[in-house]
């Protein structure tokens, strides 16, 4: 029985993977100039320190082109969810909505994304 339990424990994923993927839970977009936008993005992720944390989010055009990236330089273990902004994002004429995705240092992309219509 002990061998069976030990074998089962060895099959568990590393502890760093338990935090899951980074999810975008809210986005506010504001036009800040001709073709330029600012985004306030709220991300939720169970950051576990430097080994596993939400490390960036992207603004994407409908065709998947990355229009801007906000790099997150440290874990937010005690601030969840957290909101960070990115300004000066150039959105091509005719684009009426963008998609925001977050990334974490273990899973990369895969969490909940958020589509926002540009006012």
Domain ranges of the chain: 2-117
Q: What is the pLDDT of residue 39?
A: 97
Strands (E), the chain: 23-33, 36-44, 54-60, 66-71, 82-90, 97-104, 114-117
pLDDT, position 43? 95
Report the DSSP beta bridge partners of residue 26: 42
Domain made up of 2-117: CATH architecture: Sandwich (2.60)
For 1-22, write each residue's pLDDT tens digit: 555 444 444 444 454 445 688 9
Residue 33 scores a pLDDT above 90: no
How high is the pLDDT of residue 16?
Answer: 43
pLDDT per position as a tens digit, 55-90: 899 999 999 999 999 999 998 877 889 999 999 999
């Amino acid at each position: 029985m002990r061998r069976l339990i030990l074998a089962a424990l060895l099959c568990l994923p590393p502890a760093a993977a338990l935090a899951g993927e980074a999810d975008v839970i809210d986005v506010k977009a504001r036009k800040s100039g001709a073709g330029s936008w600012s985004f306030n993005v709220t991300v939720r992720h169970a950051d576990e320190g430097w080994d596993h944390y939400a490390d960036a989010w992207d603004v994407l055009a409908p065709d998947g082109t990355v229009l801007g990236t906000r790099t997150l330089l440290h874990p937010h273990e005690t601030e969840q969810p957290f909101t960070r902004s990115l300004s000066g994002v150039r959105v091509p004429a005719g684009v009426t909505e963008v998609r925001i995705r977050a990334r974490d240092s273990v899973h990369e992309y895969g969490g909940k994304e958020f589509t926002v219509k540009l006012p």
